[in-house]
Amino acid sequence: MNAAKYRFEGSEMNNKLLMGHPSGLFVLFFTEMWERFSYYGMRAILVLFLTSALIDGGWAWSREDALGLYGTYTMLVYFSPILGGWLADKYFGYRNAIVWGALIMALGHAAMAFDTPWSLYIGIGLLVAGNGLFKPNMTSIINGMYVNAQAKKDGAFTIFYMGVNAGAFLGILLCGYIGETQGWHYGFSLAGVFMFLGTLQFWLAQGIFGKVGLSPSKAKEYESISENKESTTTHEVVPPNVQRDRYIVVGVLGFFTIFFWAAFEQAGGSMTIFAKDYTNRVLEGDAASLFRIANTLLTIVPLVIITYVLFKLFQITFKKYALSNLFLGTSFVIIWAIVLWMLNNQFSEIKTEVPASWFSILNSFYIITFAPLFSKLWESKYNPSATVKFGAGLILLGLGFGILAYGSASISQGEQTASVSMIFLILAYLLHTLGELTLSPVGLSYVSKLVPAAKIGLMYGLWYIAIGMGNKAAGSMGGMIDTITAQYDMSTFFLIFTIIPIIAGLVLMALTPIMNRLMHGIK
């Protein structure tokens, strides 16, 4: 099916639609999926590994030290894209930067297969460097494809975000399970396999993007030999005062983004500790059976959905990009084999101990479930303004922590362990995810709308710096969990993350009339 209402940049094949969007979007969808498998698989078990006892294969670090390293790592992951975006804009092109970044990250996971301090730090360094080249340039290619289809961007970024979270879901599920049951470093290294296969899949299918994402010199060469000399791309000439106002909007949204991620990223830190030490995770009898059935559905249903999307993409692209599709298909065969092996192991157990990392997959599951709904909402007449979306995201996030504050009210001052019901984490992750869907993918979309095309890579880098600052704050604040629970209690700790995001969300919503004027017609 060819595009009728919109003309997307890229090859003719790119204008064959899947779910109302160009097929190239789904090449990016699966490439990003493996990179997020890498990042979230690492994120799920890093703190657990560092704080676990030596007898359990961990390094027995204090919670404060472990969360400090976690915060630094996640901060640098989001700081490095400013350099990667600049290099891609000026020299490499987005596509080359993605390939090199993915290969460097694969090497980082290979280093982490070894159980030594130097290999851990080298691995983290390579992951940070590779991510800097990879992350901003995926979104830059999307922006290039949609330059003449601005109205479709919010929906495109939401679908892309579904791919992000498909990778996060699988990475947390499989790296978490293998890390906690088979050995931490098996979990760390698993993602390297998929990162490498994802690199090959993208590299072999990149022709679908046409000239989008090429280096500046290659783009000129492409245009000079192209049979179609007519360009459909139009560039708006924006007066300096209008562009200045739009930069202000990006800055304000970026500032409030820091508050969001400072709270949201407790998922990989204090919320993981809460799951490990304060949540009842041992299930027996009917409760264990119910969990196994629910976990099977939770695992299989999203994987079936993603596999279906893969099949639909194959129908469009296999004839021209067969080898790329074979590498992608091989990845899914391996994933299905590991998933079925894991589920078989769980059903053979007399009682079930839910892995502490398991709760993190709820965020990804909820996103895979709700992302299509939000994508349609943003394309409907009920699409609210940027500040309303961001404000709602912050408020929903705060309410999720309110549930944790309520659920931990029974934990006494200074307690190091407890046995709170799982339901509080399950509900908290639901609200956090709904908040994330109203803020994170929409933020990427608004940056692309408000910033000139020539500055996209650089501005995505600056946007990720704001997220990195939030991540570092998350590690620092989460590292205070022992201090706050000793002086007050666990409920007070979570109330901090309840109150601050809700206040920030209300303030941002109150700024809506001013921000709408500063956007000068951008919707």
pLDDT at 379 over 80: no
Please write the tens of the pLDDT for every residue from 168-220. Answer: 889 988 998 999 888 888 888 888 888 899 899 999 999 999 999 887 767 66
At how many degrees (to 10) do helices 512-519 and 490-510 cross? 50
Any domain includes 24: yes
Any domain includes 205: yes
Domain range for 425 is 18-226+238-519
Q: What is the per-residue pLDDT for 232?
A: 47
Please write the tens of the pLDDT for every residue from 178-189. Answer: 998 888 888 888
Any domain includes 8: no
Q: What is the per-residue pLDDT for 446?
A: 85
Please write the tens of the pLDDT for every residue from 396-450. Answer: 999 999 999 999 999 988 887 788 999 999 999 999 999 998 988 778 778 888 8
In the chain, the number of structural domains is 1
Q: Radius of gyration of the chain from Cα atoms? A: 22
pLDDT at 30 over 90: yes
Any domain includes 97: yes
Q: What is the per-residue pLDDT for 154?
A: 74
Q: Chain-wide mean pLDDT for the chain?
A: 87
User: CATH code at 209?
Assistant: 1.20.1250.20
Locate 71 and state its tokens. Answer: 């915060």
pLDDT band at 2 (very low <50, low <70, confident <90, very high): very low
Rounded to whole angstroms, the Cα distance separating 162 from 154 reads 12
Give the contacts of 509 (CB within 8 A, at least 6 positions apart): 387, 388, 391, 392
pLDDT at 384 over 70: yes
Q: CB burial class (10 A; 0-12, 13-18, 19+) of residue 81?
A: buried
Q: 18-22, 317-321, 420-424: which has the minimum mean pLDDT?
A: 18-22
Locate 15 and state its tokens. Answer: 């204008």
Q: Specify the amino acid at residue 426.
A: I
Please write the tens of the pLDDT for every residue from 249-300. Answer: 999 999 999 999 999 999 888 999 999 999 999 888 888 888 899 889 988 9
Rounded to whole angstroms, the Cα distance separating 150 from 6 reads 9
Please name which of 113, 139, 134, 112 lies closest in space to residue 123, comparing C-alpha atoms: 112
The answer to whether the CB of 74 falls within 8 A of the CB of 128 is: no
Give the residue-averaged pLDDT of 477-482: 91
The answer to whether the CB of 450 falls within 8 A of the CB of 519 is: yes
pLDDT at 95 over 70: yes
pLDDT at 81 over 90: no
Any domain includes 232: no
pLDDT at 227 over 70: no
Any domain includes 231: no
Rounded to whole angstroms, the Cα distance separating 103 from 101 reads 5
Buried b (16+ CB within 10 A) or exposed e, 218-248: eeeeeeeeeeeeeeeeeeeeeeeeebebbbe
pTM over 0.85: no
- Cα distances from 261 to residues 111, 264, 267, 469, in angstroms, run 28, 5, 10, 8
pLDDT band at 461 (very low <50, low <70, confident <90, very high): confident
Rounded to whole angstroms, the Cα distance separating 239 from 233 reads 19
Rounded to whole angstroms, the Cα distance separating 496 from 266 reads 12
